[in-house]
Chain A
Amino acid sequence: MAEKLSGTRDAYGETLVELGSENRNIVVLDADLSPSTKTILFAQKFPERFFDVGVAEANLVSVAAGLASAGKIAFASTFSVFGVEKTLNQFKQSVAYPNMNVKLVTTHGGISVGEDGSSHFCIEDIAVMRSLPNVTVIIPADAVETRAATRAIAEKSGPVYMRLSRPKTPQIYEDGYKFQGRDLKFEIGKSITLIEGGDVTILATGVMVAESLQAAQELARRGIRAGVVNFHTIKPLDKEAILRAAANTGAIVTAEEHTVLGGLGGAVAEVLVEEDPVPMARVGINDTYAESGPWRELFAKYGLTSADIVKAAEKVLKRKAK
């Protein structure tokens, strides 16, 4: 099956333009990366509502807070690594704590950045951002979902962090936000069950949702009925869905393009340990720095492929059998 690839950042830029025509209160900021984050599309259409602050991410975030405090819906974009890690205190102090209507939407998340290397990777953002009260954390699974998510966060008041990717990634949804013909609705905080599981459930976010769907097919060939749930929102966390999966299948695998420390896997583990400690395994980057290289090769080397998910599923199933 040839996979269809599409760009989450392209979808973001295009949706911003639509939103800009619909709502005059939308403003967009960037830090000298608009050609890459695709906010350039908004800049070209609405130059008076676009602000490039230069290579100055701390300023980016706090200026966005100022715009929001005066009634604007402020979308601020740069690469994930800079938007999260260079501005953590600014984001906490001027956006999260006062509950400002700022949407920090970053592109080039994870290690699928590829050739630029570790200085440009961001595999800590879920852990960092979900630790901040008031902040909604979203990673869409593909470009189609990115369109829906961008609209949803514009409508939701308050601080949002959303992470997108550099490369075009597998499109798992049909245009118009459908999965295998089924119409979907993007609700912040509500996961989407793509496949019902019998033996094990894979909870995944971002580009790892596509890997999980592949893993489920491979597991089916091996006689294992694996469910797949897309956690496009990591905070607020869809606890109910986690507990349902635990109750129905008794084994959980999480998959994320993020360090295994504190991300989706960490969040799910927190819920399971307190409420229903079924066997679980985390697929992610194993507390290490990756390196420069083509992103698919990096995924293979650093344990982010469907094969790694299959392995993890078989491992938890062994523990479940005991």
Chain B
Amino acid sequence: MAPFNQKMAPHDLKLINKLSEIALNIRKNSLIMTTKAGSGHPGGCLSCADILAAIYFHQLRYDPEKPDWEERDRFILSKGHAAPALYAALAMAGFFPTEELLKLRKIGSILQGHPDMRKTPGVDASTGTLGQGLSIGVGMALAFRLDNRPNRVYVLLGDGELDEGQVWEAAMSAAHYRIDNLTAIVDYNRQQLSGCIEKVMNLEPIGEKWSAFGWHVIKIDGHNMKQILDALDEAERVRGKPTVIIAYTVKGKGVPMLEKSFLSGDCKYHGTPLSEAELAKALEELHG
């Protein structure tokens, strides 16, 4: 059967508008879901919404009717705390009814606080402990190459997550094995849980680090849909080495109050949802 997501001609305006609309929806749902759940991580959901829209509604091959379809591409949300954004994308893609979204974090729900591949259709890897997704992706990519299969693997990482040594172990091995069916994307919002990365753990020069590890590096504005699509295309063309897309993003993107709060150095909304009143205001103000 034909894959659900036929790639459209690259990057015409219609496509970009469609994807931006979807990203907005992911943001909206992430905020509602975390507020209704009473816990969760809104900031890091908003920074990766555009990337998720591009991945799930343009780049990835999958079939929501057959979540285990062997020919599908894989997506790993290594920064698992952004699960609400992933769930919103999966629901829109048709993996499960959107009503499920409001059961996030409730007892008995298919939507766990962090991604669970055994409970949620469409989730390709269980994450939540930071630092493991890229290694899992390396394993998947090696298996696909062994079997001469065309499946591609995408891994989305947080920048704070890059503090984990295992990320660099995985980075080294991906380059060593010349894996080119794997694309890593770093949600470079320059914030982690307890502060901005310059304060907690400096990552610069980030591009040089990845290229020293043998990766092809692309830096983009992670909220510019055309740049996201172009980078994903470029990554697909690179041969003999893995590609990392460093997406410069804004934590809390789209909600002025959140953007301001993070910029001021306050990390409260990393792991605290908006109150009902804040949510109402945020939904009014939300923009792409």
Decide if B114 touches A32 in the complex (CB within 8 Å). Answer: no
Query: CB-CB < 8 A to B37: which residues of A?
Result: 115
A76 CB to nearest chain B CB (Å)? 15
- Picked from A35, A55, A292, the residue with its CB within 8 Å of the CB of B105 is A292
The one of B38, B116, B195 that contacts A117, using a Cβ cutoff of 8 Å:
B116
Partner of A32, one of B113, B128, B129, B200: B200
A contact residues around B194 at 8 Å (CB): 30, 32-35, 40, 52
A261 at the interface (CB under 8 A from B): no
A-B contact count (CB 8 A): 101
Determine the distance from Cα of A301 to Cα of B200 in the docked complex, in whole angstroms. 39
A292/B201 in contact, CB under 8 A: no
| Interface assignment of A241: CB less than 8 Å from any CB of chain B | no
- B1: CB under 8 A from chain A? no
B128 contacts A301, C-beta separation under 8 Å: no
A58 within 8 Å of B (CB atoms): yes
Q: Are A56 and B164 in contact (CB under 8 A)?
A: yes
Contact B201 A54 (CB under 8 A): yes
Let me know if A35 and B193 touch, CB within 8 A: yes
Find out whether the CB atom of B201 lies under 8 angstroms from the CB atom of A52: yes
Which of B37, B106, B267: most chain A CB closer than 10 A?
A: B106
Tell me, in angstroms, the Cα distance from A291 to B118 when the chains sit together.
12
Name the residue on B nearest A34 (C-beta): B194
Q: Are B164 and A292 in touch, CB under 8 angstroms? A: no
B200–A292 CB distance below 8 A? no
| A108-136 to B contact mask, C-beta < 8 Å, 1/0 | 00000011111110000000000000000
A35 is contacted by which of B80, B129, B130, B267 (Cβ under 8 Å)? Answer: B267
For residue A59, CB closer than 8 A to chain B, the reply is yes
Does A53 have its Cβ within 8 Å of any Cβ on chain B?
Answer: yes
Smallest CB separation, B187 vs chain A (Å): 14
A161 to B163, CA, bound (A): 24
CB distance from B3 to the nearest CB of A (A): 30
- Interface: A24 (CB within 8 A): no
Asked if A293 meets B106 with Cβ closer than 8 Å, knowing A32-B200, A119-B80, the reply is yes
Cβ-based interface call for A244 (8 A): no
Q: Find B192's partner among A30, A54, A119, A301 (CB 8 Å cutoff).
A: A54
Q: 1/0 contact trace for B129-171 toward A, CB 8 Å?
A: 1110000000000000000000000000000110111000000
Chain B residue, CB-CB nearest to A297? B107
What separation, in Å, do the CA atoms of A36 and B164 have in the docked complex? 19
B98 in the interface (beta carbon within 8 A) = no
Kindly list chain A residues whose C-beta atoms are within 8 Å of the C-beta of B127: 119
Shortest CB-to-CB span from B114 to chain A, Å, is: 4
B40 at the interface (CB under 8 A from A): yes
Cβ contact within 8 Å between A86 and B163: no
Q: Which residue of A lies closest to B128 (CB)?
A: A119
Query: A298, B107: Cβ atoms under 8 Å?
Result: yes
Q: Are A115 and B201 in contact, with the CB atoms below 8 A?
A: no
Q: Which A residues lie within 8 Å of B116 (CB)?
A: 117-119
A210 to nearest B CB, angstroms? 21
Which A residues are CB-close (under 8 A) to B107?
291-294, 297-298, 301
Q: Does B39 contact A (CB under 8 A)?
A: yes
A293 to B195: give the CA distance in the assembly, Å. 28
Within 8 A of B (CB), among A285-305: 291-294, 297-298, 301
A260 within 8 A of B: no
Residues of A at under 8 Å CB distance from B?
A: 30, 32-36, 40, 52-56, 58-59, 81-82, 85-86, 114-120, 291-294, 297-298, 301
Top 6 A-B residue pairs of the complex, sorted by shortest distance between their CB atoms: A119-B128, A54-B201, A293-B107, A54-B163, A117-B113, A115-B105
Q: What would 18 more interface pairs be, CB under 8 Å, given A30-B194, A32-B163, A119-B80?
A: A32-B160, A34-B194, A52-B195, A54-B160, A54-B163, A56-B163, A115-B37, A115-B39, A116-B128, A117-B113, A117-B114, A118-B112, A119-B126, A119-B127, A119-B129, A293-B105, A293-B107, A297-B107
